[in-house]
């Protein structure tokens, strides 16, 4: 049985605003095994980034609150640790690649010094040793001319090179878990492919588990072992990546997959989009949050959100009444290509 490196249970996070309390993360549970890549996907605002930032203790303390749940990392609940204990973990055993490297890199410091400072923060070594370590990491991530580029400032590097510097900063202390928050969004397609290949190879070389946060199903297909689909602060489907791509069972997952252009199929149809808007999380719906946008919605969907229902493949589950054994017994399995059930 695979060993869990991170185990998040029943996480609840809210943010106080002048309009009311936003229920950003609502009873979310997931886990990450050693040397595994896990994907968390969903529309903007679904709670995926908030979930990860909560685990890392990066949410603003002024209006953000953890109302419940646990997050066990290497046997300790990181939600109960002091600020000093969290700082000892961040950048060391747990790191993040942020979405926009130009925003998070210091424009007044050479990139080599920024990488070196991370290593010096967590290791009692000389600056020369830290610089040698930084250089070795830059070589590992295949940054061109690492000796020369270490002396450059962020604005002197291309977008792909800045992203590689962010990856080097995240990896220099050899973390157990690497969070990647939309790591390829700001890059062109060619550089995206290079970064994806780089992260896949680094996982094998460094024994680091990766949590990929994205809305890009194409990136997910190339990287993840298991997948969690989030909607309106909840996980609505989870499972092995192969099962999720070839046998998805939640209508929201169908919508995400249908919105991706297919190169292996000839079609003149327009790209599919999910109609409607996500619900207001200040006053979330009582039932399934996707019911108002779902063409398969039934009366019970408006009243009650189902628990995650286990499916055929081990670990595959969907929080949808279409997957309930009684529904399947009476109507059969509802598939993406099927007709509306009219219930």
Q: Facing residues of 180 across strands? A: 97, 212
pLDDT of residue 301 exceeding 80: yes
Question: Looking at the predicted structure, is the pLDDT value of residue 214 above 90?
Answer: no
Determine the pLDDT at residue 37.
Answer: 93
Closest CA to 6 of 35, 27, 49: 35
Task: Give the mean pLDDT of the chain.
Answer: 88
Query: Which H or E run includes 21?
Result: strand 20-33
pLDDT of residue 336: 60
Q: How big is the CA angle at 90 (ends 84 and 91), to the nearest 5 degrees?
A: 130
Question: What is this structure's pTM?
Answer: 0.90
What's the pLDDT at 337? 47
Per-residue model confidence (pLDDT) at position 264: 60
Q: Which of 4-13, 265-274, 322-331 has the largest mean confidence?
A: 4-13
* Band (309; pLDDT cuts 50, 70, 90): very high
Averaged pLDDT for residues 32-56: 93
What value does the mean pLDDT take over residues 17-39? 94
The fraction of the chain above a pLDDT of 90, given in percent, is 60
H helices within the chain, ranges in order?
48-55, 83-89, 101-104, 111-122, 127-140, 146-149, 159-171, 189-206, 217-223, 241-246, 251-258, 299-303, 325-331
Residue 227 is predicted with a pLDDT of 96
Provide CB contacts within 8 A for 140, sequence distance 6+.
Answer: 168, 171, 202, 205
The Cα–Cα gap between 292 and 229 comes to 18
Q: Structure tokens of 54? A: 């909560």
Percent of the chain surpassing pLDDT 70:
94
- The mean per-residue pLDDT over the stretch 170-178 comes to 90
State phi, psi for 317 to the nearest 5 degrees.
Answer: -150, 150
Residue 73 has pLDDT above 80, yes or no: yes
Q: Which of 17, 38, 21 is nearest to 235 (CA)?
A: 38
pLDDT number for residue 240:
94
Lowest mean pLDDT among 7-16, 58-67, 179-188: 179-188
Instruction: Decide: 30 and 211 in contact? Cβ < 8 Å.
Output: no
Query: What was the pLDDT predicted at 268?
Result: 54
304-319 average pLDDT score: 92
Please state which of the ranges 45-49, 161-165, 246-250, 337-341 shows the lowest mean pLDDT.
337-341
Distance (Å) of CA 274 to CA 253, 257, 334: 10, 11, 18
Q: Strand order of the sheet with strand 177-181?
A: 94-97, 177-181, 209-214, 37-41, 226-231, 234-240, 317-318, 309-310
Query: Residue 340: its pLDDT value, please?
Result: 42
Largest CA distance in the chain: 70
């Amino acid at each position: 049985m695979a060993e869990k490196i991170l185990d998040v249970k029943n996480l609840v996070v809210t943010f106080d605003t002048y309009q009311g309390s936003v229920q950003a993360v609502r009873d979310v549970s997931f886990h990450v095994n050693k040397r595994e890549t896990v994907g968390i996907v969903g529309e903007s605002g679904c709670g995926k980034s908030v979930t990860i930032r909560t685990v890392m203790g990066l949410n603003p303390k002024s209006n953000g609150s953890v109302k419940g749940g646990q997050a066990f990392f290497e046997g300790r609940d990181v939600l109960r640790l002091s600020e000093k204990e969290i700082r000892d973990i961040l950048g060391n055993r747990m790191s993040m690649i942020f979405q926009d490297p130009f925003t998070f890199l210091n424009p007044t410091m050479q990139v080599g010094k920024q990488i070196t400072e991370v290593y010096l923060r967590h290791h009692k070594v000389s600056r020369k040793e830290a610089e040698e370590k930084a250089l070795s990491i830059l070589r590992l991530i295949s940054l061109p001319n690492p000796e020369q580029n270490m002396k450059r400032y962020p604005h002197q590097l291309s977008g792909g090179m800045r992203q590689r510097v962010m990856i080097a900063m995240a990896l220099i202390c050899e973390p157990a878990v690497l969070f990647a928050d939309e790591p390829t969004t700001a890059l062109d397609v060619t550089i995206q492919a290079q970064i994806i290949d780089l992260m896949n190879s680094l996982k094998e070389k460094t024994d680091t588990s990766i949590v990929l946060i994205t809305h890009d199903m194409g990136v997910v297909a190339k990287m993840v072992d298991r997948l969690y689909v989030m909607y309106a602060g909840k996980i609505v489907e989870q499972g092995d990546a192969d099962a999720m791509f070839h046998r998805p069972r939640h209508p929201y997952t169908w919508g995400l997959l249908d919105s991706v252009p297919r190169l292996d199929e000839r079609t003149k149809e327009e790209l599919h989009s999910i109609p409607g808007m996500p619900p207001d999380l200040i006053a979330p719906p009582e039932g399934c949050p996707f019911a108002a946008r779902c063409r398969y919605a039934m009366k019970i969907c408006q009243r009650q959100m189902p628990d995650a229902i286990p499916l055929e493949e081990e670990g595959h589950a969907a929080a949808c009444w279409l997957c309930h054994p009684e529904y399947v017994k009476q109507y059969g399995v509802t598939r993406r290509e099927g007709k509306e059930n009219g219930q």
